Amino acid sequence: MKKKDVEPAYQKDVFQKLTIEDLDLKGKRVFIRADFNVPLDANLIITDDRRIRSTLPTINYAIDEGAIVILSSHLGRPKGKVDPRLSLAPVAKRLQRLLNKEVTFAPDCVGSQVESIVSKMKSGDVLLLENLRFHPGEEKNDEEFARSLALLADVFVNDAFGAAHRAHASTVGITKFLPSAAGFLLKKEIEYLKGAIDNPIKPFVAILGGAKVSGKIGVLEHLVGRVDKVLVGGGMAFTFIKAMGYEIGDSLVEDAMLETAERIRKQLTEQGIKFYLPVDCVIAQNTEPGAVIKIVPTLEIPNGWRALDIGPASVKLFTVALQDSKTILWNGPMGMFEIDFFSRGTFDIARAVADAYALTIVGGGDTDLAVHRAGVSDAISFISTGGGASLQLLEGKELPGIAALTDKPE
């Protein structure tokens, strides 16, 4: 299956910041903040390079325009200390293969040694700096650290949507010292995610899952008056179900969110928004291999058992609810899909979303992984690279890394 060639449901003026195409890059040192926070196995081999691939259009454009390309990123959480296991060296090797050209790897991201390397670079050369978070100044948005990063370049391009919700030195601080613009990925993320919420082609259906209601309350509140249907699965569904007065066995619940969940549900339904919860579920007493698994109606979960996936009737209900949709936004899996026994609901919904004749937008790291494991990623219109960033955008919040970029002229 090929990714749907569907235009995003947004107004073309939704993005009001300078982009890389607005800059004169020829001969300029261009500092590109990317999100190369990729998973590594025990042998430090990259197991999924989608985040690297997603920034290639921006990198290749800068190379083609004759820029001197300086790439930067964080990897993991080294907490301001050097951790060889979180070095970006494996990323440099993968980049070299993907770009089909030499990528120099710097032993640090600031300092005289790095400045010396940059001074010898020519147009079209590519340099990857070592992990930004090896320095405490990165996460603290320290002005001197940001100034040291800015000394390496003439212009700044942010293409790290996954880090745009963080006010760090390489996303916000550096913009005080350099003309700043968005890369192609960052611009595309805003256009799809913000466009889906602000100006959707209707009917607009939101599918929300994952473990906790608390992480999605802001999104649900922002959807009021915008969305036509809300489908809720995953662990968060059982907080809503318990709030309605039903027993849920030992299923995941946020007791502190019961009143909030019921308030949101009533608010949505009073607005005429159709609100769907699972009608059946896959239950077990534990997740150990060989555990007994049953499919029961949602309202008949025995004590000592917990729901770990939506059942086949829920899949059918949700699939029918998607059939007339024109825009689908999906954030959060339907169950514990990482375990085969509890993956069917999530994968079936992934296939239903992929088959829908609609603009389909998937946001959140777990959901991204789910559509790839279901084998339907190429049939989704847009898959966001940001977890926390996409949630904040869907809540209607301003992202610091985007707000800091230079505004387009009136």
Same domain? 202 vs 95: no
351 has catalytic annotation: no
77 has catalytic annotation: no
| Residue 370 lies inside a defined structural domain of this protein | yes
Q: Are the C-beta atoms of residues 15 and 164 closer than 8 Å to each other?
A: no
Number of domains in the chain: 2
Strands 104-105 and 155-158: unpaired
Same domain? 116 vs 202: no
Q: Which of 17, 28, 51, 166 is catalytic?
A: 51
Q: Which of 3, 4, 147, 212 is catalytic?
A: 212
Same domain? 163 vs 300: no
Query: Of the residues 148, 182, 216, which one is the last residue of a structural domain?
Result: 182
- Residue 326's contacts (CB-CB under 8 Å, 6 or more residues apart) are 9, 200, 201, 202, 203, 204, 357, 358, 359
Same domain? 350 vs 241: yes
| Residue 12 lies inside a defined structural domain of this protein | no
Same domain? 252 vs 105: no
| Residue 409 lies inside a defined structural domain of this protein | no
Same domain? 94 vs 228: no
pLDDT at position 188, please?
Answer: 93
Same domain? 162 vs 252: no
Same domain? 142 vs 201: no
Query: Of the residues 141, 158, 182, which one is the last residue of a structural domain?
Result: 182
| Residue 124 lies inside a defined structural domain of this protein | yes
Q: Which of 66, 76, 365, 396 is catalytic?
A: 365
Residue of 207, 165, 161, 204 lying closest to 185 (CA atoms): 161
Q: Which residues of the chain have pLDDT under 70?
A: 1-14, 365
| Residue 406 lies inside a defined structural domain of this protein | no
Same domain? 159 vs 307: no
Q: Which residue has the tokens 């970006």?
A: 88
* 231: Cα within 13 Å, side-chain hemisphere: 29
- Written as six digits, the tokens of 372 are 């790839």
| Residue 165 lies inside a defined structural domain of this protein | yes
Q: Which of 76, 111, 124, 388 is catalytic?
A: 388
Query: Of the residues 159, 182, 205, which one is the last residue of a structural domain?
Result: 182
Strands 29-33 and 155-158: parallel
Residue 256, domain CATH: 3.40.50.1260
pLDDT at position 70, please?
Answer: 98
| Residue 202 lies inside a defined structural domain of this protein | yes
Report pTM.
Answer: 0.90
Q: What is the pLDDT of residues 306-361, one digit of tens each?
A: 999 999 999 999 999 999 999 999 999 999 999 999 999 999 999 999 999 999 99
212 has catalytic annotation: yes
pLDDT at position 3, please?
Answer: 55
pLDDT at position 9, please?
Answer: 46
pLDDT at position 11, please?
Answer: 44
| Residue 9 lies inside a defined structural domain of this protein | no
pLDDT at position 196, please?
Answer: 84
Same domain? 321 vs 363: yes
Q: Are the C-beta atoms of residues 183 and 189 closer than 8 Å to each other?
A: no
Q: Which residue has the tokens 């989704």?
A: 380
Residue 37: domain span: 20-182
Same domain? 175 vs 232: no
51 has catalytic annotation: yes
Same domain? 269 vs 169: no
